[in-house]
Chain A
């Protein structure tokens, strides 16, 4: 119960409070809404009346709407008017008077003027002044920038800074100031003056100068006209030559050429009649041209046209003729002048022609037959051939056979080839004999020759094919059996000069292979006991060694160590003093034996150690040691079974292996015979520059500036002095004044400007005024 009552009382209280609040609100609202319209107020009143109907706590609000007893100046009500009272209205009399207009105007002016704002506080004003002063000063000072920059970049500054005057006046100036004093001098000068000779500049007399200057107008005009004419003629000629050059017609050119030739001939004839000496000279010239032609091989069948014709020659008669023509021309041009007999010469020529007609296959064959150098050989064989044909054709095959037999001594498997060749040679000699007989009857020799050459060609073709087949079959054999060593033709023949010491049973092709060898000892052991002879053979046949599983492509960069050390070197035949004849002969006779003995001895001495293998092993170790190490973070037994004999799985190992970044390639990567230490020389590094100085961003830039030595050891004295001049030099015994505007060519001193600003802060430009204003507004 009590609780209930309590609650009720509380409620009542709150209600009372609410009610108490209301009138206040009302009052406020009333005061606020003074300017509101009537209707609204009436509505308010109504609401109030309604609210006060329930009786309790009713309050009468004081409102005065009409005249009351108590009227005071403080209680003026403005109700009803709805407008503000304007001051001007008060002044206005009942009837308007003109005299008050001025006062009104003044009043309005006073009203329009706002109140004066508060002055800024001191600090702010000072700050603004400072800012403005800074800007101004910066502007003033900026004119010094170029001077400062120049002085900074100057190679040398000499204090006190003063303008240098040209110390030495030119001698002419000195002379002009000089006057004759002694009587002798005066006399001489008088003489000079009298004769109008120059005194100071003695090159030309005034008369001469005048005459030089004079060139009559006519003369000048004539000269100009002449020059113009010459220029025009030249241009015409050039245009003509250009046009003619552009003509593509072959016929035209042929005609022109022929015409020229004829003309030349005619002229020559004339010349011969008129002036034999000049003609002789001309003849020499022609001869020279012929020689040039002979040297240049222009009419050989090596040109593009000739080659195309050579292809066509087989089918096309015309082409053949053209070819013949060219060849004959060539022959004519390349003819030697001192010839014994015409027929022999001609034959030689035909021989040449044949040589030229023969395809390359023939040369190949010859090379195969006779030895290493095809070029040498070709010329040699041709020489012998020619000689043989001139002397005795029958001798030739024997000669050839002899050569072949020589080669046979070296190379047995070439036998088949050789037989074929012999056959070929025989046929050839036969043909030559017939040709000789043909030569006796000159008529129709051309055709027969042609046919003969054709015959030879066909023969050769067949032969070369046979040879090729033979080769292939032999190769196959070699590869299948693998024991027959193929002789390398590229290798030069002199075998004796190769030091025996260098020939080792195991042959190493590349570094990798050698490494493999080093790893697999058993392989090594298998190789080692081989006899030396076989080792040699295997060395000579590096490319088709039977037990090499795959042919590795040699890297071009890689230099084979073995080759490096086994390079053949020419030996000195005799080392004794060559003047002593007996000694020389003695040495040369004993040489071979001595050498052999020596080699044997050396071979025995170095039988045990293998220098190359040791070196490569060392190098491998060095490379391994310098490589960055991988980090293995695998924990055995983590996430799987662990224990003795159990290894973590490969996958896991791969997952937890941190690979070290690959360093730069070693300097000795491609140098098998060198180990270069890659370690840093820290003692030397202490002396090196380790911080880049200011304007440089990359060390290459800086390095470039310190590459020239400045010491006197490397430079001339002058250069050394210039390179080591101090940046700043102060003259002793001089006062060094601060730099002034006058020194650098400015008129007003900057100092005064600055001081003016500081003392008179009112002198502020419009811009600064604006700034000030902005600050004050804020």
Chain B
């Protein structure tokens, strides 16, 4: 989504002092100067505040919220501009300090699994975990035995409260999986390829054999979208209200669910599309193709934003982590690779799996799960921002049938696996983000809250054409049109209004302002400018020569005879 790295908290009544100070290490700050006499500082009881002033904030935490890129050196700016820049920087510092202070309110901590000295966590099975955890958590591990209607695809709603699953043989159901309350259960009498919740749990998109259908939480068919036919995979972009569908015919279609219009239908020109995932950071859709490439799509462009050659064989599964930094791909060549998406698109780690992974998914905290046949492997990284290390699996689990769908439940340490034997909900400690943003996606929200959130979300809907590889680029000035406009203005006016005025020597007294001396001064400045220009051009030439030299062989006197 085009909202990068948001802080998922919103303190309501956090008392934040106006004067804030960053400290490198926790220390007692100096006495503020406003208090001239110490008596006035004392309270009624006579006790002195041992820590006067606002509490210091650690620098690293503040740094996390700073967004101004100070690496680029600015050209010399005038006083007025400088004051504006200073104001902007001061604002940034203040807001980031405030944000850092309210980190305190993120009370929950992620769970984890740790082996006793040298014990392999992968050997810990689900039964052990269930035995160890409390009852409420243990209830989150369950199996649904649905052997009748074939392999299942599943999807959790954005709040992580609801679960929808669809069997190949037409079985579609939605339930509140925490309380196990069934919302609806129908059979669509048609093959179900994929299933996905729309922005809320009230709407459900089902990719059926022919067309795309939309149901509500009662199981009533609301729409049948015939323009999206033979859909194999569905993705929903929550901040854009776009439903992206990949079809057998090779089309990637974006459907705006808020207005019911097809925003873009893009032909990928790569045959059948059945590998798709979204990048949650920038809402770019990743498609995997049979020629080993992964292409990145945005509805604004007819061609892919980027194409990455990942595997020798076809790509079987793609997943992108929640920060949009890493992409995991698996191919027919039985390799599992993790790519860096920050501009380089190079593999960071590679691993060959005996059977190859057919399904991949990232958790909110960066755990990677791969479904290989009937085995599920989970890898974990060192921290939240690090890629999962493929050396040792963090957890493994064997299911009763081949895996057909995988998704980590948001805000829960739960992995949902859809397979031929039904649905399995696994406990994976450390998978989910422990702190949720109550105003953004609240698992405990009431009906009223949901309705209010829906209105707000619709008001904040991001236009589809803003999807691009680097969402921060939108906050940059469009240099090309800026320069074009400048050129046109110069043409219109006949002169450059921003051009530097020619040097005018200042009048001086005592006969030093004679014509000759004026001319002399003018000439001096002119010469200096000229020298600068020459120097620059010389430097450029040097650069060019330095570049050109190593390529050519040594010239010979006989070269002139060469025809």
The B-contacting residues of A in range 658-674, CB under 8 angstroms, are 667-668, 671, 673-674
Query: Do B3 and A714 touch across chains, with their CB atoms under 8 A apart?
Result: yes
Q: Per-residue CB proximity of B362-378 to A under 8 Å, as 1/0?
A: 00000000001001010
The B-contacting residues of A in range 164-194, CB under 8 angstroms, are 170-172, 175
Query: Do B95 and A594 touch across chains, with their CB atoms under 8 A apart?
Result: no
User: In the assembled complex, which residues on chain B have CB atoms less than 8 Å from the CB atom of A701?
Assistant: 74-75, 77, 81, 84-85
B32 CB, nearest partner CB in chain A, Å: 15
Query: Do A602 and B332 touch across chains, with their CB atoms under 8 A apart?
Result: yes
A723 CB, nearest partner CB in chain B, Å: 7
Q: Per-residue CB proximity of B88-116 to A under 8 Å, as 1/0?
A: 11011011001101100000000000000
The contact of A691 among B6, B475, B485, by CB within 8 Å, is B485
A497 to B482, CA, bound (A): 55
The contact of B78 among A688, A695, A713, by CB within 8 Å, is A695
A570 at the interface (CB under 8 A from B): yes
A564 to B350, CA, bound (A): 10
Assuming the contacts A606-B313, A705-B84, asked whether A688 and B476 have C-beta atoms less than 8 A apart, the reply is yes
The B-contacting residues of A in range 540-586, CB under 8 angstroms, are 559, 561, 564-565, 567, 569-572, 575-580
A572 to B479, CA, bound (A): 50
Query: Do B98 and A723 touch across chains, with their CB atoms under 8 A apart?
Result: no
Assuming the contacts A679-B301, A716-B10, asked whether A708 and B92 have C-beta atoms less than 8 A apart, the reply is yes
A202 to B291, CA, bound (A): 84
A449 to B543, CA, bound (A): 62
Closest to B351 in A: A569
B221 at the interface (CB under 8 A from A): no
Query: Do B478 and A606 touch across chains, with their CB atoms under 8 A apart?
Result: no
Assuming the contacts A575-B396, A577-B375, A690-B481, asked whether A501 and B333 have C-beta atoms less than 8 A apart, the reply is yes
Closest to A686 in B: B465
Assuming the contacts A579-B123, A699-B482, asked whether A684 and B67 have C-beta atoms less than 8 A apart, the reply is no
Query: Do A673 and B474 touch across chains, with their CB atoms under 8 A apart?
Result: no
B507 at the interface (CB under 8 A from A): no
Assuming the contacts A572-B354, A671-B345, A680-B480, asked whether A712 and B375 have C-beta atoms less than 8 A apart, the reply is no
The contact of B84 among A606, A683, A695, by CB within 8 Å, is A695
A692 to B311, CA, bound (A): 45
Q: Per-residue CB proximity of B263-300 to A under 8 Å, as 1/0?
A: 00000000000000000000000000001110000101
Please classify how large the interface on chain B is, using the bins under 10, 10 to 19, 20 to 34, 35 or more: 35 or more
A570 to B335, CA, bound (A): 10
A570 to B391, CA, bound (A): 8
Binds B, one of A112-120, A424-432, A609-617: A609-617
B508 at the interface (CB under 8 A from A): no
B195 CB, nearest partner CB in chain A, Å: 28
User: In the assembled complex, which residues on chain B have CB atoms less than 8 Å from the CB atom of A564?
Assistant: 346-347
User: In the assembled complex, which residues on chain A have CB atoms less than 8 Å from the CB atom of B534?
Assistant: none
B466 at the interface (CB under 8 A from A): yes
Query: Do B303 and A679 touch across chains, with their CB atoms under 8 A apart?
Result: yes
The B-contacting residues of A in range 692-740, CB under 8 angstroms, are 692, 695-709, 712-719, 722-723
Query: Do A704 and B74 touch across chains, with their CB atoms under 8 A apart?
Result: yes
Query: Do B78 and A707 touch across chains, with their CB atoms under 8 A apart?
Result: no
A687 to B83, CA, bound (A): 27
The contact of B474 among A565, A679, A687, by CB within 8 Å, is A687
A696 to B87, CA, bound (A): 14
Q: Per-residue CB proximity of A593-616 to B under 8 Å, as 1/0?
A: 011001000100110010110110
Query: Do B95 and A674 touch across chains, with their CB atoms under 8 A apart?
Result: no
Query: Do B352 and A615 touch across chains, with their CB atoms under 8 A apart?
Result: no
The A-contacting residues of B in range 445-472, CB under 8 angstroms, are 463, 465-468, 472
The contact of A595 among B335, B354, B472, by CB within 8 Å, is B354
User: In the assembled complex, which residues on chain B have CB atoms less than 8 Å from the CB atom of A695?
Assistant: 78, 80-81, 84
Query: Do B466 and A687 touch across chains, with their CB atoms under 8 A apart?
Result: yes
Closest to A612 in B: B309
Assuming the contacts A499-B333, A687-B463, A716-B102, asked whether A674 and B309 have C-beta atoms less than 8 A apart, the reply is yes
Q: What number of A-B contacts does a CB cutoff of 8 Å give?
A: 261
A505 CB, nearest partner CB in chain B, Å: 14
The contact of B375 among A576, A614, A690, A696, by CB within 8 Å, is A576
The A-contacting residues of B in range 110-126, CB under 8 angstroms, are 120, 122-123, 125
Assuming the contacts A673-B309, A707-B68, A714-B6, asked whether A203 and B46 have C-beta atoms less than 8 A apart, the reply is yes
B486 CB, nearest partner CB in chain A, Å: 9
User: In the assembled complex, which residues on chain A have CB atoms less than 8 Å from the CB atom of B202?
Assistant: none
Closest to A673 in B: B309
Q: Per-residue CB proximity of B317-349 to A under 8 Å, as 1/0?
A: 000000000000000111100000001111101
Q: Per-residue CB proximity of A187-210 to B under 8 Å, as 1/0?
A: 000000000000001110000000
The contact of B351 among A571, A615, A715, by CB within 8 Å, is A571
Query: Do B312 and A502 touch across chains, with their CB atoms under 8 A apart?
Result: yes
User: In the assembled complex, which residues on chain B have CB atoms less than 8 Å from the CB atom of A2?
Assistant: none
A609 to B345, CA, bound (A): 24
User: In the assembled complex, which residues on chain B have CB atoms less than 8 Å from the CB atom of A688?
Assistant: 474, 476-478, 481
The contact of B476 among A703, A718, A722, by CB within 8 Å, is A703
A681 at the interface (CB under 8 A from B): yes
Assuming the contacts A681-B301, A715-B98, asked whether A708 and B88 have C-beta atoms less than 8 A apart, the reply is yes
Assuming the contacts A577-B397, A577-B398, asked whether A497 and B354 have C-beta atoms less than 8 A apart, the reply is no
User: In the assembled complex, which residues on chain A have CB atoms less than 8 Å from the CB atom of B468?
Assistant: 681, 684
A469 at the interface (CB under 8 A from B): no
Assuming the contacts A687-B463, A712-B10, asked whether A171 and B44 have C-beta atoms less than 8 A apart, the reply is yes
Query: Do A689 and B477 touch across chains, with their CB atoms under 8 A apart?
Result: yes
A622 to B162, CA, bound (A): 45
A468 to B334, CA, bound (A): 43
Given pairs A175-B44, A577-B397, A717-B12, 19 additional interface contacts (CB within 8 A): A501-B333, A502-B312, A598-B354, A602-B334, A606-B313, A618-B307, A673-B345, A673-B346, A679-B301, A679-B303, A681-B468, A684-B468, A699-B479, A703-B476, A704-B85, A713-B440, A716-B98, A716-B102, A719-B94
Can you sample 12 A-B contacts with CB below 8 Å?
A201-B42, A499-B352, A501-B333, A571-B354, A575-B396, A673-B345, A676-B305, A677-B304, A687-B463, A701-B85, A703-B475, A714-B6
Return the 10 tightest CB-CB contacts between A and B, nearest first: A683-B465, A203-B46, A569-B350, A699-B477, A688-B478, A571-B352, A719-B95, A705-B88, A690-B481, A683-B300
